[in-house]
Amino acid sequence: MSKPETTQQPEAPVTAGRSGSSMVRLSRLDFMRDLILLGAWLALMALFAVLSPYFLMVQNFKNIGLAISIIGISAIGATLIIISGGIDLTVGSMIGLSVITVGALLTAGVAVIPAMLLTLLVGCLVGAINGLLIVKGRINPLIATLGMMSIIRGFAFVYSGGISHAIVSKEYGVLGRGSILGIPGPIIAMLALYAIVWAIMKYTNFGHYVYAIGDNASACRLAGVDVNKWRYVVYIVGAAFAALAGMFLASLMQASLPQAGNGYELTIIAAVILGGASLSGGVGNVFGTLLGVLIMGTLDNGFTLLNVPAFYQMIAKGAVLIFAVFIDQLRTGGYE
C-alpha cells in the first residue's frame, strides 16, 4: 500500500497550499517582474552612460562583469536558501574563508585542483554546520548564520594573523584571469552555473522540493518528504557556491586577504530579494536573481565612476534592500 504513494511524492508537495490558478497567476507576475527588472537595469545603464563618458567602454563592461561574477555565483546559493524559507548571512564571511583557505593550501605546495576541492569541502562543512544549528538546534536561521558569520570571519583573521599574502601560482591565476573569445572566465562560469541551476530547479525533484519546502514545509512532511534532509542539502549547496565565489575572487586578486568578501552579504541578499525571491519562502528564480545582481553591480560601478563616496554607496545599498523587502511584502500579501 505504501509503494504507490511514494511514487507520487515528487509531485505532491509542489503545489502545496496553492491552487492551479494561483500558480498560473504567480508565474505571470514573475514574468512581469522580470520584465520590469530588465527595463530598470537598461534604464540604469542609459543613465550612467549619460553621466559618465567611461561607462560604455568595453573595459568597463568587463569590470562590471568580473565584479558581478563573484556576487552572482554566491547569490545562486543564497537564492536556493531563501526560496526554501531560510536565510544565510555567512556568504560574505564564507567568501573570505575560501580566499584564505585556497591561498594557504597553494602556499603549502598543494596542487591547484586538490586545493580547490579541499576549499570546496571546507565550504560544504560550514554549510553542514549551519544546517545542523538550524535543523537540529532549532535556532532561527537569522541568528544562527549571524553568529556563524562572526565566527567564520574571526577564524579567517586568526588563521592569517590579519595579514594578506600573495598567491604566486600562475596556474591558479588562469581561473580568474583567463578568458575565452575575449570574455573573462569568471563571467562564463557564472552564466553557465545560472543556466545549470535554472534547469535543476525547474526539472528535478531537488528543485521541486526546495520550492515546496519554502511554500509549505508541513504539507511536504505529510507527503513523505524528508524536509530536514533537504534543508541540510540546501545550506551545504549555498555555502559551496560561496566557497566557489571565493576561489574565483582569490584568483582575480592573486592574493589571500582575510577581509575579502566583507559586506558582501548585504549586496547578495539585496540582489536576491530584488530579483523576486520572497523571504516567506517558496517564491523566486535564479533568472530574477541574475537581474538583481546586474542592477546591484551596475549601481556599484556607476557610483564608482561618478566618484560617489563609499559611505553614500552603503546608504544606497541599504535603501535598495529595504525597497526590495517592501515590494516583497506587498507581493506576498497580495498572494494571500
> What residue ranges do the domains of the chain occupy?
25-335
Output the pTM of the full model: 0.86
Inter-CA distances, 90 with 17, 21, 204, Å:
31, 37, 27
- pLDDT string in tens for the chain (336-residue length): 444 444 444 444 444 444 444 455 556 666 777 788 888 889 989 999 999 888 889 889 988 999 899 999 999 999 999 999 999 999 999 999 999 999 999 999 899 999 999 999 999 999 999 999 999 999 999 999 999 999 999 999 998 888 888 888 888 988 888 888 888 999 999 999 999 999 999 899 999 999 999 989 989 988 888 999 999 999 999 999 999 999 999 999 888 888 898 889 988 998 999 888 888 888 888 999 999 999 999 998 999 899 888 888 888 888 888 887 787 777 666 444
- In angstroms, rounded to a whole number, what is the distance separating the alpha carbons of residues 94 and 3? 42
Per-residue exposure over 170-193, b if at least 16 CB sit within 10 Å of its own CB, e if not:
eebbebbeeeeeeebbbbbbbeeb
Q: Which CATH class is domain 25-335?
A: mainly alpha
What are the DSSP calls for 113-135, one per residue? HHHHHHHHHHHHHHHHHHHIIII
Inter-CA distances, 199 with 196, 282, 286, 307, Å:
5, 17, 10, 40
Say if strands 165-166 and 179-180 run parallel, antiparallel, or are unpaired.
unpaired
- In angstroms, rounded to a whole number, what is the distance separating the alpha carbons of residues 62 and 68? 10
